[in-house]
Each structure stands twice: as C-alpha cells, then as structure tokens.
Amino acid sequence: MTGRFDAVDIIRAKRDKGTLSAEQIAWTIAAYTQGEIAEEQMAALAMAILLNGMNRAELSAWTQAMIDSGDTLDFSTLKDAAGRPLRTTDKHSTGGVGDKVTLPLAPLVAVFGVAVPQLSGRGLGHTGGTLDKLETIPGWRAEVGTAELMQQLAEVGAVVCAPGSGLAPADKKLYALRDVTGTVDSIPLIASSIMSKKIAEGTSALVLDVKVGSGAFMKDLDSARTLARTMVGLGLDAGVRTVALLTDMDTPLGLTAGNAIEVAEAVEVLAGGGPDDVVQLTVRLAEEMLAAAGITDADPAAALRDGRAMDVWRRMISAQGGDPDAALPAAKEHDVVLAEHDGMLTRLDAMGVGLAAWRLGAGRARKEDAVQGGAGVRLHVKPGQEVRAGQPLMTLLSDTPEAFARARDALDGAVSIVSGAPAPVRKLILDRVDGQSGLVIP
C-alpha cells in the first residue's frame, strides 16, 4: 500500500477541482481503513469533496472502494423451503419522525415469495431507529449471524437485524470523521455512505425512501431529488435495480413517535387498520419493491387486510427470539398537550415532534446512550382536522416527568391552529426517481 500514491497529492488534486482516478480512490480508501492515511488528511480530503464534489465515475469508484474495504453478503444461492431460487429486495429510508414503515413492510413483501434482508440501525437524534423499536418486544434480538440470516430468509422470508461489523468498515470510520469535521452535508459522501452499505448487503433490488421536509435530513425537494438521483445512479452502476421515492416529512408519519408505541401502530397496520398515511406508504413501497424484484401483479393492500402479512410478522419476530403476543413497555408518566383555541389544525411540525420524543427519552444524543422503550409522543389529531379549545392534541409519554417541560419547549411553534382556514392537503409521495430520470451527480 505505502508509496503507491501520495495522500497530499490526492488532497491537492481534489482541492484544485481535479478528477481522481479509480486507482487513486481505491488506494485512498484502503490506506485510510488500514491507518496509513492520517485522520487530518482524510478530513482535508472530505472537505475538498464537500466543496468541489465528485463526478459520477469518481463517486462510483469511491463507493466500490468502500464496499471492498470489508465483507459482502451473497444471496445468489438462496432458496426457499421448496428449493426454489429466492429473489431479494431491500428498502432504505433516510430517516424521519414516526417512520415505522419497515416493520409492516418487510413481512408484507415476503408474503409474495420475495426475501427481504433488512439490515437496519439504531436511532441518533430526533429520528428513531428500527432496531430500538423492535428491541421493545420482549426477547427479540437484533444480532443475527450470517448462517442464521440465510436460514431465516429461506424459512420465513424476512429478517430485520443489525448489520455485521465487517460490512463497509471504511464507511464507519469515515462517518465518525465527517461528524466532527463539518462534512456530513456533502451529497456525494452521504450517497456513498448509504449505498456502500446497501450494496455490500448483497440484495439484487433496492427501493429508497428519501424523506423531504422539516423532520428530514433533506429539507427541500431540490436537494432531496439530487440525493435520490445520486443514490439511484450508484445502485445502477453497481448492478442493483434501484428506484427512489421522495416522501413528505413536514408532518410526522402516523400517530406515534417513539419506540414501543410505534411497534403497536405497526401491528395495527398488519391487522388491516392503522393510520392512512402509514398504510399508503407501506403499500406503495411494497409495490415498488416487488416490481423491482420482477413481480407486478401482487396486491399488497389485500395481504394486509386478510392477515397474510401478520402471519409472516409473527414468524419473523419469533425466529429472532421475540414474543409477538407479549405486552410492550409503557411509560410511567404522561402529560397532555391541549389546543389553546378553536380552529383548523393547519400544521404539525415533524421536527418539533421528533425533538419532543427525543427529549422524553425515545432517542439518544450519543450512540452509547440508552433509550426508554415506552417514551414518545402520541398524536390525537393531524393537520386537516378541526379542533376545539381544550381538546387533546397529543400526549407526551416518559418515565422521567422532569422531561415534560423540555419536550413542551421543543413543541413551541410546532402547532398552528387557524380559525376559518381551509383544510391543508398533504401529498405524501412527492416524486419518483429511477434510471430514466436524468441522473446527474453534481
């Protein structure tokens, strides 16, 4: 490794808006992963990339080098219980408030004979983590070895678990560096971080849910569209059928933001009920995932109504040691937020609700922090509904009642009630990006 290239030359090239070769990029990522490039040198390169960008060839090479830094999974030999080849498909969400869609989605897609290896993470900040939610189910475990993963996919059709530490280790190291050097906001680095892990996971098809709005990382449609196009391009370049939906996150998804309360809401969806927006997004993402796997005649909505998805959910939870019938943890204390006057609820800010749930104990500020299983925010109304003065708008849930004041501070200005205002119309699916969408990497 040492001596093939010089880190300072590579930094200078990108600083001066030059183009890096695939060989330079492969050497850089490998040398950094092995400790041959110093942290301050990689920080300088990351800043140069943030300021000057990467073209599509550079970014594809960067992403492949991240994949090559560690292990990859291979599902090409996967077969179902009858010995037939199993197609695989996956979904990734860029994170939002109340986004519990992975929970009903994985078993729903598996109903139709497509395996879903859903490697998920824990929450940090105001967006909840899928593993934090599932870990509120008594007995359920996130850690699944490769052999067990393969067996569960063959027998059940769906797995939601933690990724192995060997997948794209360069990304883990680089992400920690970006977090402390002000380079998190680089779209090329965001896209390569997400896609290196997803491609390393080995699925043959991928659907991206790119959130847009106050409660999302991408606040406006233009930047979200650029990120989506970049990620779709990287997936296609790696031979993975990839499509992205841009979905609204100005308003929380569903009526819950927390951990156990989101699991309960997901189970409602699997039972054929649940909030309309959660059902709509779950069904649409299922349709996209199945189409990406070559199945276009499925009816996911029917599989929610008739209990088939619930059956797979129960087997999926049981296979990882969980008890699907066990009671979920509940918060010890609650505090009800009331409407101050009559009118139409015109806005319920996702960021405000997410921060409130975080301060109540549903999220963490550092990766090592613990979360409260029962903490969160339960919404009683959504924008478009008339409310009366004194009517409950939401209930705050926590084991630590001293957190209620700070949670209410987070909600200051998050709710708008306007007398005589027309009902706002929410468009949940804002755009769709695929290989025909004029992909351009800035």
Q: Cα dihedral angle (265, 266, 270, 274), rounded to 10 degrees? A: 40
Residue 73 is assigned to a structural domain of this protein: no
Domain edge (last residue) among 308, 325, 342: 325
Encode pLDDT of 287-338 as tens digits. Answer: 999 999 999 999 999 999 999 999 999 999 999 999 999 999 999 999 999 9
| pLDDT on residue 437 | 57
Whether 77 is in a domain gets the answer: no
Q: Do 119 and 205 fall within a single domain? A: yes
| Assigned domain for 227 exists | yes
- Which CATH number fits the domain that encloses residue 59? 1.20.970.10
Q: What is the pLDDT of residue 306?
A: 96
From 197, 211, 229, 382, active-site residue: 197
- Choosing from 92, 122, 225, 241, the catalytic residue is 92
Catalytic residue among 87, 133, 178, 314: 178
pLDDT band at 442 (very low <50, low <70, confident <90, very high): very low
Q: Would you say residue 433 lies in a domain?
A: no
Q: Which of 309, 325, 341 is the last residue of a domain?
A: 325
Same domain, yes or no, for 126 and 194? yes
In a domain, 35, yes or no: yes
In which band, very low, low, confident or very high, does the pLDDT at 135 lie, cut at 50, 70 and 90?
very high
193 is catalytic: yes
Measured CA distances, 420 to 343, 380, 383, 388 (Å): 6, 21, 14, 12
List the catalytic residue out of 60, 93, 120, 193. 193
The fraction of the chain above a pLDDT of 70, given in percent, is 96
Q: Are residues 361 and 239 in the same domain?
A: no
Q: Does residue 310 lie within any of the structural domains? A: yes
The answer to whether residues 125 and 272 belong to one domain is yes
**101, part of any domain:** yes
Instruction: Please indicate, yes or no, whether residues 397 and 309 belong to a single structural domain of this protein.
Output: no
57 lies in the same domain as 171? no
**pLDDT, position 85:** 86
- Does 229 qualify as catalytic in the annotation? no
Residue 289 resides in a domain: yes
- Concerning whether 171 is annotated as a catalytic residue, the answer is yes
Mean pLDDT of all residues belonging to the chain: 93
Last residue of a domain, one of 325, 344, 370: 325
Q: Are residues 279 and 254 in the same domain?
A: yes
Question: Which positions ≥6 away from 405 have C-beta within 8 Å?
Answer: none
Q: How does pLDDT run across 107-124, given as a tens digit for each residue?
A: 999 999 999 999 988 776
**Tokens 């073209």, residue?**
55
- Does 341 participate in catalysis according to the annotation? no
CATH code, domain carrying 382: 3.90.1170.30
Q: Is 120 a catalytic residue?
A: no
The CATH number for 299's domain is: 3.40.1030.10
**Residue 238 and residue 139 in one domain:** yes
Name which of 22, 89, 108 is nearest 316 in CA terms.
Answer: 108
- pLDDT category at 175 given cuts 50, 70, 90 is confident
Same-domain check for residues 118 and 13? no
pLDDT digits (tens, 9 = 90+) for 5-54: 999 999 999 999 999 999 999 999 999 999 999 999 999 999 999 999 99
Give per-residue pLDDT as tens, 42-66.
Answer: 999 999 999 999 999 999 999 999 9
Domain that holds residue 390: 333-418
- Please check whether residues 261 and 365 belong to one and the same domain: no
pLDDT at 67 over 90: yes
Number of domains comprising the chain: 3
Percent of the chain beyond pLDDT 90? 85
Asked whether residue 64 falls in the same domain as residue 100, the answer is no
- Within this chain, do residues 124 and 202 fall inside the same structural domain, yes or no? yes
